[in-house]
Amino acid sequence: MSRALELALRGPAWAENPQVGAVILDSDGRILSEGWHRGVGTAHAEVDALSRLARGEARGTTAVVTLEPCNHTGHTGPCSVALIEAGVARVVYAMADPNDVAAGGAERLRNAGVEVISDVLADRAAELLHGWTTAVRLGRPYVTVKWGSSLDGRIAAADGSSQWITGPEARADVHLRRAAAGAIVAGTGTVLADDPRLTARGSDGDLADGQPLAVVFGRRDVPADAAVREHPRGFVQFDGRDPAGHLAELWDRGIRSVFVEGGPTVAAALARAGLVDEYLLYLAPVLIGGPRLAFDDLGVATLGEAQRLDLVSVDRLGGDLRIIARPTAHADGPASDTNG
């Protein structure tokens, strides 16, 4: 299963379908074949692994897969049926599929006489797919709010300068995470003040492959010469009055994750609406002072109303700290059909 989880990471992190890996073992536990899902419309991990075997070679084997084999027809057929027809004798998976439309593969396999073992390294699989499963459960893109700040919590100096509070290691990490996102969001205040490109770049400064969509929240006009207008995918602007509605529209466009780069108005609006799934902070050992904070008013009048978070990780990147925190609970929302 550890190998299957490694293979899953080769797939796109924020496609409409989840990252899934699969390994086919012979009766002695030797690996015969490996596979992973490469995105919507391509073979699912199990089918990818089966396709690498000769006809009849899968009979009597064990399939180890990170997610319960699907049980529906989307862009491709059900993986549960493919495994049954190939003659696989045993299926081991890490976690059940949270998507009601695609779930049910385990039951179908058992009904066909296939031995099924579940919940193997389930915690690791759940963390790998945390963002995707959260998006499926809530029926909207997974929202990460990112900022870099000084030790005293400031994101810019009094004159507005903010480049660079954090060091090169933190900035490289940001671009890796940008590249994995479905969309990068900034408010019009940030666009007017900083003129960001809202692109993802590699360590050499070149554009990364598969750029996320650039999205601007706010009612002010984006200048004709703004850098975001040169984005390779163009940009989309929403007025910012209905964050939940804007996320719904992005979901309909196939966006499964949103990486919010600022500013404080957008970050606060999403936080007040309970629409932030993850907070990503890069904390630099520098003091700035002044009023420039990462969030506008959150509507918290007393400490008892503060939004409580769970620390997921604290890591050192060069001279900075990277802190990842998530709300202690999410409001449930409708699941959506995202397998295919």
- Residues annotated as catalytic (active site), given as ranges: 46
Q: Is residue 50 marked as binding?
A: no
DSSP-derived secondary structure letter, 165: S
Q: Is residue 190 marked as binding?
A: yes
Distance in angstroms (rounded) separating the CA atoms of residues 6 and 250: 29
Q: Is residue 144 marked as binding?
A: no
The number of beta carbons lying within 10 Å of the beta carbon of residue 315 is 10
Q: Is residue 199 marked as binding?
A: no
DSSP-derived secondary structure letter, 229: G
Q: Is residue 89 marked as binding?
A: no
* Amino acid at position 258, single letter: V
Q: Is residue 270 marked as binding?
A: no
Q: Is residue 18 marked as binding?
A: no
- Picking from 207, 204, 254, 256, the residue whose alpha carbon sits closest to that of residue 227 is 207
Distance in angstroms (rounded) separating the CA atoms of residues 90 and 115: 5
- Picking from 212, 256, 257, the residue whose alpha carbon sits closest to that of residue 236 is 212
Q: Is residue 164 marked as binding?
A: yes
Signed CA dihedral, 269, 271, 275, 277: sign only: positive
Contact 193, 222 (CB under 8 A): no
Distance in angstroms (rounded) separating the CA atoms of residues 230 and 207: 12
Distances (CA, A) of 142 to 10, 28, 111, 148, 251: 20, 41, 35, 20, 10
Q: Is residue 134 marked as binding?
A: no
Distance in angstroms (rounded) separating the CA atoms of residues 306 and 283: 21
Q: Is residue 167 marked as binding?
A: no
Q: Is residue 178 marked as binding?
A: yes
Q: Is residue 267 marked as binding?
A: yes
Q: Is residue 44 marked as binding?
A: yes
Q: Is residue 86 marked as binding?
A: no
Burial of 131 by CB count in 10 Å (0-12 exposed, 13-18 middle, 19+ buried)? buried
Q: Is residue 263 marked as binding?
A: yes
Q: Is residue 280 marked as binding?
A: no
Binding residues, by number, are 44, 70, 79, 148, 162, 164, 178, 190, 194, 198, 201, 261, 263-269
Binding residues for NADP(+), by number, are 148, 164, 190, 194, 263-269
Binding residues for substrate, by number, are 162, 178, 198, 201, 261
Binding residues for Zn(2+), by number, are 44, 70, 79
